[in-house]
Amino acid sequence: MFCCVKLREIVYLDYAATTPCDSRVLEEMLPYFCDIFGNPNSMHHFGVTALDAVDAARIKVKTLINANFEEVVFTSGATEANKIATIRVMKALRKSAGKQCFITLATEHKSVLDCADYLKRDGVDVELLPVGTDGLLDLNLLADSVKDTTGLLSFCLVNNETGAKQDAKKITEICHERGVLVHTDATQAFGKIQLDVKELGVDFLSASGHKIYGPKGVGVLYCESANARFVRTPGANRDVEFGIRSGTVPIPVCVGMGKAAELALSELSQNLAHVQTLRNRFISGITGQLDEIYINGSPEHNYPGIVNISFRGCEGEAIMMEAKHIAVSSGSACTSNKLTISHALAAMNIPADIAQSSIRTSIGKQTTEAEIDLAIDELVTATKKLRAISPIWDIIQSGSSVDDVFKRRGFQ
């Protein structure tokens, strides 16, 4: 099923970062590199054949999220889609309606926070809303934060670090009641949980191909028909991605995105059940052997494939280095002159000593029980070894506060 099927020496548990390309996706793509190579903008047979392939891929994507054909725009990835749906929309709203305020969450993906920084430098009133310790947005806070000048809210449907899943439908209802458009970064939700843009009511949605066992270099932007005018480029060819994105459409990766979406839809229920089962096995295996273990994010409202787990008394990077046979991501980052913790965990008000001890594990449809068991053994062994030499763990065990220690060490 996958390109790499031999037993790996290192267990891959970083599926939120990227996924291996499904062999069925690759097989679908291959003819469009050499045999069916036409430019879809050409009027001859080769161009028409290529255009048919793009249309077929677009239909598969729109079916996955219950969109209309003309509402699905192929992009180079979710980052580009996020930029179009935030920067371009806010510029259009400022010009057409005098809307000066953009709202997003403090836990957003860096690609959206970068857009927020750009908008702020451009004179937009940007507000970063806090979240609770479970990573969820307080809907009353949202209602109180929306102003007459608010044009757009952007939020991550499933957080890329914690897996916390926002109530997209209620968020959208609150915003629409106040005349505010809504964009959701659905990169970690697309193809993994049931998504119906009509039911959610969002105006814009971003997703990426390589998160669902498709190729890198392709994503989609869903633009609700009535609001597509806010993202069209003046003078752009309306025949190319509906005037929203220019350039020659990359046929092979669009075909791959379509196939990945088709497979995601057909396998969604079984994949979701699979990762839920392995999540439960992983968490119970760790917590059954270690104390002071924390699962960051909402225990009820989440995508189960992402588990952000803290091993108090250790540092995330140290655990990663010690657990050499698993590939995971760290919830903290280290620079040359100071230590910082994940901006998402900081925004959730997770204590510094817990936040800096976090790692993100993410489970995929290829993950096996044996791999989860190996990961449990690796992480338990690593934690016990690191705690045995950790002065922080000694302080925790003594019952003393570690807050002052972390302030002195420069954690923010």
Could you give the residue numbers annotated as active site? Answer: 334
Q: In what order do the strands lie in the sheet containing 358-362? A: 293-296, 306-311, 358-362, 329-330
Question: Is there a contact between 116 and 102 (Cβ–Cβ < 8 Å)?
Answer: yes
CB 192 within 8 A of CB 271: yes
Q: Is the dihedral of CA 87, 41, 248, 254 positive or negative?
A: positive
Under a CB-based contact definition with an 8 Å cutoff, are residues 116 and 109 in contact? no
Residue among 179, 178, 154, 148 nearest 168 (CA): 154
- Helices 369-388, 251-287: crossing angle, 10 deg rounding: 60
Tell me the backbone φ, ψ of residue 189, rounded to 5 degrees. Answer: -110, -30
Distance CA 342, CA 346 (A): 6
